[in-house]
Amino acid sequence: MENIKKPLILVTNDDGITAPGIRMLIEIARELGEVVVVAPDSPQSAMGHAITINNTLHVKEFKEHSHDHKEYTTSGTPVDCVKMASHEILDRKPDLCLSGINHGSNSAINVIYSGTMSAAVEAGIEGIPAIGFSLCDYDHDADFDAARPFIKTIIENVIHNGMARGVVFNVNIPKAKREEIKGIKICRQANAYWVEEFDKRTNPYGKDYYWLTGKFVNDDKGEDTDEWALAHNYISIVPTQYDLTAHHYISELNTWDFGN
Amino acid sequence: MENIKKPLILVTNDDGITAPGIRMLIEIARELGEVVVVAPDSPQSAMGHAITINNTLHVKEFKEHSHDHKEYTTSGTPVDCVKMASHEILDRKPDLCLSGINHGSNSAINVIYSGTMSAAVEAGIEGIPAIGFSLCDYDHDADFDAARPFIKTIIENVIHNGMARGVVFNVNIPKAKREEIKGIKICRQANAYWVEEFDKRTNPYGKDYYWLTGKFVNDDKGEDTDEWALAHNYISIVPTQYDLTAHHYISELNTWDFGN
């Protein structure tokens, strides 16, 4: 007699509902709870914490995959998806929100550009324990299966332990075969950054335009960073908060002269 | 003989280059340094830290205002504007980045949805001291002049004192007459949030659509918060960081069982 209610798990992402990464995450989530998927109808990478306020939002049931759980697409951003799920689509608050698996890294400073992580943060703000997963491999046919048991372990831990208010998990997975993955490490966000390069071109009508490109630079060699963990084939978990206050700096600023 | 070089000040925003808020900020900045403006060609509110990677970017010189400084528009987000300014438009790194004055509050959790603050954060990541300014008044004809001497004082302080690496300022200005403004307060981000409400409608062809609306809820009554300061007619400064690591939570997570 199994009477324990399964957790209600909201799954979303930023690559769109048909991306291989979310399909894998749905499979794993279905082993652990009752799953509802609400994801963008098209790719929304690099949307940061964008929300749709100057345009209308549409929701559609998505039936392409044969399944016995519900899937929906929205015309909005990942953050819109979480808001729509919590406030329109679901009849109760989810017990857990999983976002991803993103096609590409969201380690270090990438967390702030990431639609995947914004969905997780939005869930966190709404009091839902949340995890964003990203695989450090941009290939559409990347191997999302390699980390499967580790992903399951992380989700099980969160279901079992809960999560502190004000925190969500940023999980990054190295590009590695299963037998090469060394385990899971709790990390801090590496102090790494992008050096932008704009690829300037001229269109057939003589008008200049640019593509944003760049080089990722990591001068932070700390062995407690997500970058170190990933480079050494560990899965990194950075507990990520959305109180952005630099509390340590407040007392110094109180010595400044604002003429008060 | 005045030989001290004026600081190079980059001014941007998320409401677009023609918004009254940025025009006021440009006026103040011109009293304090050499100004270059790089701002979106159209409103980009609520864009969070979005960047443009799936589309091309365009830059145009903007000559509508008669002035002896340079202004440019880009087709991108506020973050794109800062990246374009630093890496394509300017021939040296700006000494300061000012973003705003936003039409509407970016206090409390609003900081993470804010294009205004994302531009400031982007500048911070690139090592440029940065301040985002927002006025708690959504009216297009809001009184941006009331806080003018306070804004100038804040900028002068940053030029004089510099700013710690990893931190930018989130400045919010109450909707008040000049004589009502009580001064400037260093604050922490209030733990307030939005309760979403979706306004569901049906279009003339029978298809449902939604507008995102919501109610701002503040249960955090701390007198050290930005919400308290603004409610009491103070200008709030929250030092804001982009290392999102919840450092305080790492030791607890290291007690979890990940099977390592």
A239 — pLDDT class (breaks 50, 70, 90): very high
How much is the ipTM here? 0.89
Comparing A229 with A212, the larger pLDDT belongs to: A229
Residue B161's closest CA among B169, B149, B173, B171?
A: B169
Q: What is the pLDDT of residues B11-58, one digit of tens each?
A: 999 999 999 999 999 999 999 999 999 999 988 766 666 666 667 788
Q: Could you say which of A46, A57, A59 has the minimum Cβ distance to residue B50?
A: A46
CA nearest to A6, candidates A133, A123, A155, A168: A155
Residue length of chain A: 260
* Cis bond before residue A131 (omega within 30° of 0): no
Residues A105 and A229: their CA atoms lie apart, in Å, by 13
Token code pair at residue A34: 């009752």
Main-chain phi, psi angles of B225, to 5 degrees? -95, 160
Specify whether the CB–CB gap between A39 and A141 falls below 8 A.
no
The angle subtended at Cα A21 by Cα A15 and Cα A26, nearest 5°, is: 110
Q: What is the pLDDT of residue A211?
A: 84
Contact of A148 with chain B, judged by CB distance below 8 Å, is answered with no
Instruction: Please report, in angstroms and rounded to a whole number, the separation of the first and last CA atoms in chain A.
Output: 68
**Rounded Cα–Cα distance for residues A114 and A41 (Å):** 17
- Worst-scoring range by mean pLDDT, A7-21, A74-88, A228-242? A74-88
Q: Identify from A41, A77, A112 which residue to disrupt to test chain B contact, counting B C-beta atoms within 10 A and taking the largest count.
A: A112
Helix, strand, coil shares, percent, chain B, to 5? 25, 30, 45
Instruction: State the CATH class of domain B8-191+222-253.
Output: alpha beta
Q: Looking at beta carbons, which residues of chain B come within 8 Å of A57?
A: 198, 209-212
Q: Of the ranges A51-60, A175-184, A196-205, B125-134, which one carries the lowest mean pLDDT score? A: A51-60
Task: Say yes or no to pLDDT of A105 above 80.
Answer: yes
Of A56, A109, A118, the CB nearest to B210: A56
CATH architecture of the domain with residue range A8-190+222-246: 3-Layer(aba) Sandwich (3.40)
Q: What DSSP assignment string belongs to A41-72?
A: SS--TT-TT----SS-B-EEE--SS--SSEEE
What single-letter DSSP state applies at residue A225?
Answer: B
Inform me whether the C-beta atom of residue B121 falls under 8 Å from chain A C-beta atoms.
Answer: yes
Å from A39 to nearest chain B CA?
Answer: 16
Q: Is the pLDDT of residue A171 over 50?
A: yes
Q: For residues B110 and B115, give the distance between their C-alpha atoms in angstroms, rounded to a whole number.
A: 10
Is pLDDT larger for residue A71 or for residue B42?
Answer: A71
Percent of the residues in chain A that have a pLDDT greater than 70, as a whole number: 94
CB contact B198 to A (< 8 Å): yes
Low-confidence ranges of chain B (pLDDT < 50): 1-3
* pLDDT of A1 higher than 60: no
Give B114's contacts (C-beta < 8 A, 6+ positions apart).
Answer: B14, B46, B48, B102, B106, B132, B134
CB environment A40-68: b (16+ within 10 A), e (fewer): bbebbbbbbbbbbeeeebbbeebeeeeee
pLDDT (tens digit per residue) in B100-119: 999 999 999 999 888 999 99
pLDDT digits (tens, 9 = 90+) for A32-59: 999 999 999 988 766 666 666 667 788 9
- Report the alpha-carbon distance of residue B74 to residue B115 in Å, rounded: 14
- Mean pLDDT over residues A93-111, rounded? 95
Q: Is B79 on the interface with A (CB under 8 A)?
A: yes
Sign for the pseudo-dihedral over CA of A215, A220, A226, A231: positive
Asked whether A162 and A130 are in contact (CB, 8 A), the reply is no
Cis peptide before B101 (omega within 30 of 0): yes
- B193 CB within 8 Å of a chain A CB: yes
